[in-house]
Amino acid sequence: MTPRDVQTPVRDGACTGVALLLALFVAALVVALAAGEAQAQTAPSGEVLAYEAESLQETKAATASLRAQGNCCGISWSNNAQLLLRSTEVGDTFTVGGRSFTVQSGGVYNFSAVLTRGPDYGTYQLAIDGREIGGPFDAYNPTVQKTEPLDFGKVRLQKGSHTLTLTITGKNPAATNYYAGLDVLYFEPEGRAS
Ligand SMILES: [Ca+2]
């Protein structure tokens, strides 16, 4: 018996087999593409992490009134709210984060934040995991306004949970109080190029 003799009677079966293999190949391709998409979505590289300040949990009791404040005063915040500290004196502080502020991939991040300025806003210092980052920020402005993302510099974050602390350090002479308002925090993974 030659190979050709064998092929002829099983042609239908061979066709079915080829169709089955093709179907399996297509299915595998779809799965591979889907997996590729999932990886792209979760890849930390180049992905900016954003945390709404008003969604961060208090991990150390604030020394003044701390609450989420909805849009007001002509301002529309990210997620329609900001985290407002109604401080009345230097030294007021709060710490937020913990499980509500975690990163999945350790590394160096460029930290920037959208903050609120106003006539009754003071000057404050931010710290991440207890370490001061950037200089004191004077949040005084004659009218209430939302800033562009302000650059606070680089911070190394290990995989896991972290904290953000705000401490009132003073106020502009023109400011009528020591309030502080945070809208949203951004952490951009530092590029590996260069
Ligand atoms: Ca917000």
Tally helices (H) and strands (E) across the chain. 2, 12
Classify residue 75: in a domain, yes or no: yes
C-alpha 90 – ligand 1 centre gap (Å) = 24
Residues of the chain falling short of pLDDT 50: 1-3, 5-10, 15, 29-45, 193-194
Residues 85 and 168 in one domain: yes
Provide the number of structural domains found in the chain. 2
Ligand 1: centre distance to CA 112 (Å): 14
Residue 52 confidence (pLDDT): 98
For residue 114, report the distance from its CA to the centre of ligand 1, in Å.
8
The pLDDT tens digits of the residues spanning 56-97 come to: 999 999 999 999 999 999 999 999 999 999 999 999 999 999
CA angle, residues 99, 49, 106, in degrees to nearest 5: 70
Same domain for 58 and 33, yes or no, is no
Domain that holds residue 24: 3-42
What is the 25 CA–ligand 1 centroid distance (Å)?
Answer: 47
Q: pTM for the full model?
A: 0.75
Question: Which CATH number fits the domain that encloses residue 179?
Answer: 2.60.120.260
Domain membership of residue 194 (yes or no) is no
56 and 21, same structural domain?
no
Residue 47's pLDDT is what?
87
Q: Does 74 share its domain with 168? A: yes
How many angstroms does the Cα of residue 115 sit away from the middle of ligand 1? Answer: 9
CA-based nearest residue to 120, from 88, 91, 156, 97: 88
